[in-house]
Chain A
Amino acid sequence: MKSLEFNLATPAIILALAFPWNLSPAQSLLHQGRAESTTWCHCQLPMLQLTANPAKALADEPVHIRVTGLPSSQVVTIKASLKDEKGNLFQSKAFYRANEAGEVDLAEAPAFGGDYVGVHPMGLFWSLKPERALRRLLKQDVMSSPFWVTLELYDSVCIQDSATVLPRASQMVQRWFSGPGVQRQQIREGRVRGTFFLPSGEGPFPGVIDMFGGIGGLVEFRASLLAAHGFAVLALAYFAYEDLPDKLLEVDLEYFEEAANFLLAHPKVQRPGIGVLSVCKGAEIGLAMACYLKQVVATVCINGSNAITEVPLRYKDLVVTPINLFPERTQLHISGALRLRHCRGDPWELNRQSVLPVEKARGWILFIVGENDEFLDGRAHAEQALAQLRSHGRSNGRILAYPGAGHLIEPPYAPLCYMSWNPGISLPLLWGGDRVAHAAAQEHAWGEIQKFFRQHLTPAGS
């Protein structure tokens, strides 16, 4: 949709303008001064400053934003904006009130309105919204450029984006998706297609395969971020990329085994086993890898099914037939986006043969689910898998269920993508999620994912 138009000059009927729009804070201070017989002059006013530290950081690191030099108790708007590599604009804003000392410290001050309410130091980042609806924020080039986020301070409450109203102060921060010293290597080995990220140093580093879902192609930013934390990560494509099939017509587990063997063969990758970090369809495949491949000793499955769905799985002689979805159970959200959460039935009821034999997994499994996932009921799938483990006397599975989180659980401070266009589907898909809860889930889950991999992939298990 086009950017919000809000005419401030008109005394709107729903919204009366309580503040003297035309006065600068300095002038309004003078007004107060007159009433109290106080003398002020411009040179005594503290300098207005907007600071953000660190100005250059990894995208999963927090930023401390502060404003100083405001008149006490003044209401301000702080806006963030970012343009992605395709030129799509993402924006957010929140309304704060300076304290008595004329400061706003986002680590302590509550926002009163805007894109979020309450104390949320990183709220401006995770509430970024696309100006043109239904775009998803994805970093393509992870090595040589960051996302530039512009922070701006405006007087009073500004809902409209105006070309004529200038910010009182502004600051830019860089958000990087790779750390210093990490090397990126394009992989075309045998059938394997992907990108390998290797931290600097002697190693060995715990190896992880990173897989996304129905989006296809090759998504690198999570792999590169994980590598910045000391993991050797292979971002693995499996369809709609280079000479891989355009569409996923079957899951050939031997392809994924080749990828696992490639990783383990690398001199700087820790042996004897690797991890898998996977989401959505990728998580279904990741769970299959955990069940059938002894090379996989730690698997993180985010919002995926515990059964083979839609297309068959093949591993050597084994063929696992899929459970089909029920398209007639598709629901339409008020926005026109497709809500697919109810299109899947209970795998155990529908076809026991399609349910993944998690009791065969030798390694550890961490299920991460968003309870407000509108694409699928990850919690039900994870709990069925855990019940299956328990019924076989196994205790190598664990679940982290996040109330309010949606389907697209990404690294911390990534904006919530509530719905978006997807290749091959003519209507947008609804992913769900409540912004505040989703942001908290992303922050917590990222730490847990790293702890999980370190615990099970390094000999010391720190």
Chain B
Amino acid sequence: MVQLTATPLSALVDEPVHIRATGLTPLQLVVFHASLEDEVGNLFYSRAFYRANEVGEIDLDHAAALGGDYKGVHPMGLFWSLKPQKLVTRLLKRDVMTSPFRVQIKLYDRHLPIETKTSEAPKASVTLERWYVAPGVTRIPVREGRLRGTLFVPSGEGRFPGVIDMYGTSGGLLEFRASLLASRGFASLALAHCGFEDLPPQPDKVDLEYFEEAANFLLKHPKVLGPGIGIVSVCRGAEIGLSMAIHLKQVTATVLINGPNFIFSIPHVYRGQILKPRPHSVQSISINALGFVEFYSIFDESGPETSQSCLPIEKARGPFLFIVGEDDKNVNGKVFAKQATEQLKRHGKNNWTLLSYPGAGHVIEPPYSPLCCVSGIANVCSAIHWGGEVVPHAAAQEHSWKEIQKFLRKHLTPVIPSSKYF
């Protein structure tokens, strides 16, 4: 009898799953088919072709896919190779607390065509739950003063290292990475900065005092460990994160994913000081063969304007973790991170790590998230090319997530002296 098992059936979204099929005919060809429906009805599919071994078993931890959405040994390939039925769609979890994503995995005979939908019954199937929050994590909406966000506090006694989590131009409030960080032991504040509730949809400046309020709010919270906080930020969020690290002594560990080392388009202001944006050339926008818009060439990477507008990263106290997708088609993160680290080196600082991932794109998310290589942002552009190749992007997500947690733990938890010094 054909059996399909997946362990664990219910887990955090960043945890791997062990998938096995048994009871097949020896050397039989089969197709594994995964599907997911998001909260707004978008469908995502993936499939891979495998051959059973001599005893009629396929263990995805060891077996190599022959084709489909990926090739080779990729135990979690069915998850990270999920593709939207409508190309320009991004998989985003909105309700992180009360519901998981449900992924259905089905096993079919190979001779079935490579359809996304079929009326034939699978030989076996299993449904998995993928959660964005661990049991016991508390979700606290934050509406203090000007602040708009959501705080996630890990379960358990005592205090936890505090982190501010910021996304980019998509605006609104994305909670899923903060809730996952909380599930991994960090008190995480998902902080909105535009296009959310009474925050302006397109602000004309970045007011760093708003972000200082957020840092202070976090540090004052009874469940947050001080004396400093961390930042996890991507794209426009990383531009703000870098600015915060430079101006706010409260920030003692900063993760910058695919961000610039200068100001993109609206000035930053902090206590009367104004930091102006770097000029760019609109005519350097490219459109690829599928009609997706690529913005990565709009900033001139050399020339006098470049060095004058770089943010003074050497003034920041805390260490930096730069994460760069080398195939990013939206932001030329590789060049900007290199410039930032060169600037630090010139000032005699070595408080940084740069993780540069060939083949990874702009949208580097927690592990096993499907690659989003194109999506739209309301009021900006309906098809922005983010870049990335499926397999290396997945590997980058897996590796960088572990590194982010290691980095935050190292720099936000006090070092307990070892006994040999006593």
Residue among A12, A157, A418, A427 with the highest chain B CB neighbour number at 10 A? A12
A174 to chain B, nearest CB (A): 26
Q: Is A17 an interface residue (CB 8 A)?
A: yes
Query: Across the interface, which residues of A come within 8 angstroms of B287, CB to CB?
Result: 93, 114-115, 129, 159
A1-45 interface code vs B (CB 8 A; 1 in, 0 out): 110111100111111111100000000000000000000000000
B267 to chain A, nearest CB (A): 10
Question: Do A334 and B373 have beta carbons less than 8 Å apart?
Answer: yes
Q: Which B83-110 residues sit within 8 Å CB-CB of chain A? A: 83, 85, 87-88, 110
Interface residues of A in 418-441 (CB under 8 A from B): 418, 426-427, 433, 435
B380 touches A10 (CB 8 A): yes
Q: Which residues of A contact B266 (CB under 8 A)?
A: 11, 13, 16
Q: Which chain B positions have C-beta within 8 A of A18? A: 279-282
25 residue pairs of the A-B complex, CB under 8 angstroms, read: A1-B291, A6-B382, A10-B202, A12-B265, A12-B380, A13-B264, A13-B265, A14-B236, A14-B377, A15-B265, A16-B280, A18-B280, A93-B287, A117-B286, A127-B289, A157-B283, A159-B285, A328-B68, A329-B49, A329-B67, A331-B67, A331-B69, A334-B371, A334-B390, A336-B83
Contact across chains for B282 and A15 when beta carbons are under 8 A apart: yes
A176 interface residue (CB < 8 Å to B): no
- Decide if B284 is an interface residue (CB 8 Å cutoff): yes
Checking A6, A19, A112, A338 against B114 with a beta-carbon cut-off of 8 angstroms, the contacting residue is: A338
Contacting residues, chain A, for B66 (C-beta < 8 A): 326, 328-329
* Identity of the chain B residue whose Cβ is nearest the Cβ of A418 in the assembled complex: B289
Instruction: Tell me whether B379 is interfacial, beta carbon within 8 Å.
Output: yes
Binding site for A on B (CB under 8 A): 29, 31, 46-47, 49, 51, 66-71, 81, 83, 85, 87-88, 110, 113-116, 168-169, 194, 202, 204, 236, 264-266, 277, 279-287, 289-291, 293, 295, 297-298, 330, 371, 373, 376-377, 379-384, 389-390
> Could you tell me if A331 and B284 are in contact, using CB atoms closer than 8 angstroms?
no
User: A114 CA to B286 CA in the complex, in Å?
Assistant: 4
A14 contacts which of B286, B290, B330 (Cβ < 8 Å)? Answer: B330
In the bound complex, residues from chain B placing their C-beta under 8 Å from that of A95 are 282-285
CB contact between A1 and one of B71, B88, B236, B371 (< 8 Å): that residue: B88
B114/A330 in contact, CB under 8 A = yes
**Which residues from A are CB-within-8-Å of B68?**
328, 330-332
Select A328's contact among B49, B236, B280, B281, beta carbons within 8 Å.
B49
SS class, residues of chain A in contact with chain B: loop
Task: With CB as the reference atom, state the residue of chain A lying closest to B85.
Answer: A336
Given contacts A14-B169, A129-B291, A330-B68, contact A157 B280 (CB under 8 A): no
Least CB separation from A75: chain B residue: B283
- A433–B289 alpha-carbon span in the complex (Å): 9
Given contacts A331-B67, A332-B69, contact A133 B290 (CB under 8 A): yes
Residue of B nearest to A13 (CB): B169
What residues of B have a CB within 8 angstroms of the CB of A115 in the complex?
286-287
Q: A173 vs B46: C-alpha distance in the bound complex, in angstroms? A: 45
* A115 (CB) vs chain B CBs: closest residue: B287
For residue A365, which residues in chain B have a CB less than 8 angstroms away from its CB? none
A16 touches B265 (CB 8 A): yes
CA distance A12 to B266 in the complex (A): 10
Which of these, A7, A19, A127, contacts B282 with CB under 8 Å?
A19
The answer to whether A327 has its CB under 8 Å from any CB of chain B is yes
Closest to B50 in A: A328
- Residue A416 lies at the interface, judged by CB distance under 8 Å to chain B: yes
Residues of A within 8 A of B (CB): 1-2, 4-7, 10-19, 75, 93, 95-97, 112-115, 117, 127, 129, 133, 156-157, 159, 326-332, 334-336, 338, 342-343, 416, 418, 426-427, 433, 435
- Are A5 and B382 in contact, CB atoms less than 8 angstroms apart? yes
Inter-chain contact A112/B298, CB cutoff 8 Å = no
Question: How far is B327's CA from A67's CA once the two chains are assembled, in angstroms?
Answer: 36
Contact: A426 with B285, CB < 8 Å?
no
Determine if B279 and A15 form an interchain contact, defined as CB atoms under 8 angstroms apart: no
Instruction: For the complex, give the distance between the alpha carbons of A114 and B284 in Å.
Output: 7
Which chain A residues lie closer than 8 Å to B81 at the CB level? 332
> In the complex, which of the residues A13, A14, A112, A426 contacts B113, with contact meaning CB atoms closer than 8 Å?
A426
Having A327-B67, A332-B69, one finds 5 other A-B pairs with CB under 8 Å, namely A14-B169, A15-B265, A18-B282, A129-B290, A328-B67
Looking across the interface, which residue of chain B has its beta carbon closest to that of A330?
Answer: B67
User: Are the C-beta atoms of B114 and A16 separated by less than 8 Å?
Assistant: no
Nearest CB in chain A: distance from B351 CB, A? 29
In this complex, the member of A11, A331, A342, A426 whose beta carbon has the largest number of chain B beta carbons within 10 angstroms is: A331
Please determine whether A159 and B49 come into contact, CB atoms closer than 8 angstroms: no
Contacts of B168 in A (CB 8 A): 13
Question: Which residue from chain A places its CB closest to the CB of B30 in the assembled complex?
Answer: A328
A1-B265 contact given A97-B283, A159-B293, A332-B47, CB 8 Å threshold: no
Q: Return the contact of A336 from the options B87, B289, B330, B379 (Cβ within 8 A).
A: B87
Residue from the list B110, B281, B285, B377 in contact with A114, Cβ < 8 A: B285
CB contacts (< 8 Å) of B46 on chain A: these are 332
In the assembled complex, the CB of A177 is this many whole angstroms from the nearest CB of chain B, namely: 24
Instruction: Kindly provide the distance from the CB of B302 to the nearest chain A CB, expressed in whole angstroms.
Output: 16
CB-based nearest A residue for B388: A334
Q: Which of B51, B113, B381 has the most CB of A within 10 A?
A: B381
Interface centre among B46, B169, B281 (most CB of A within 10 A): B281
Residue pair B83, A113 in contact (C-beta under 8 Å): no
A113-B283, A334-B371 known; A327+B381 contact, CB < 8 A? no
Which chain A residues lie closer than 8 Å to B291 at the CB level?
A: 1, 4, 129, 133
Q: B112 — nearest CB in chain A belongs to which residue?
A: A327
Nearest chain B CB to A422 CB, angstrom units: 14
Q: Is the CB of A12 within 8 A of B202?
A: yes
Most buried by B among A16, A157, A427: A16
Closest Cβ–Cβ distance, residue B422 to chain A (whole Å): 53
Q: List B contacts of A418 (CB < 8 A).
A: 289-290
Residue of A nearest to B331 (CB): A14
**CA of A1 to CA of B114 in the docked complex: distance in angstroms?**
22
C-alpha spacing A10/B285, complex, angstroms: 17
Q: Are the C-beta atoms of A14 and B69 separated by less than 8 Å?
A: no
In the complex, A6 Cα to B279 Cα: how many Å? 20
- A416 and B87: CB pair below 8 A? no
Say how far B300's CB is from chain A's closest CB, in angstroms.
Answer: 11
Closest beta carbon of chain B to A39's beta carbon, Å = 30
Q: From the candidates A96, A157, A328, name the one contacting B29 in the complex (CB within 8 A).
A: A328
Query: 5 closest pairs, A vs B, by CB?
Result: A16-B265, A95-B283, A328-B49, A329-B67, A5-B382
Which residues of the other chain, A, contact B383 by a CB distance below 8 angstroms?
1, 4
**Within the assembled complex, what's the spacing in Å between the Cα atoms of A160 and B155?**
49
Q: A407 to nearest B CB, angstroms? A: 14
Closest approach, in angstroms, between the C-beta of A197 and any C-beta of chain B? 31
Which chain B residues lie closer than 8 Å to A326 at the CB level?
A: 66-67
Hey, which chain B residues are within 8 Å of A113, CB to CB? Answer: 281-286, 297
CA distance A1 to B113 in the complex (A): 25
Q: Are B281 and A6 interface neighbours, CB within 8 A?
A: no
Contact of A5 among B49, B371, B381 (CB under 8 A): B381
Please indicate the chain B residues that have their CB under 8 angstroms from the CB of A427 in the complex.
Answer: 114-116
Q: A6-B381, A328-B29, A427-B114 are in contact. Are A15 and B295 (CB under 8 A)?
A: yes
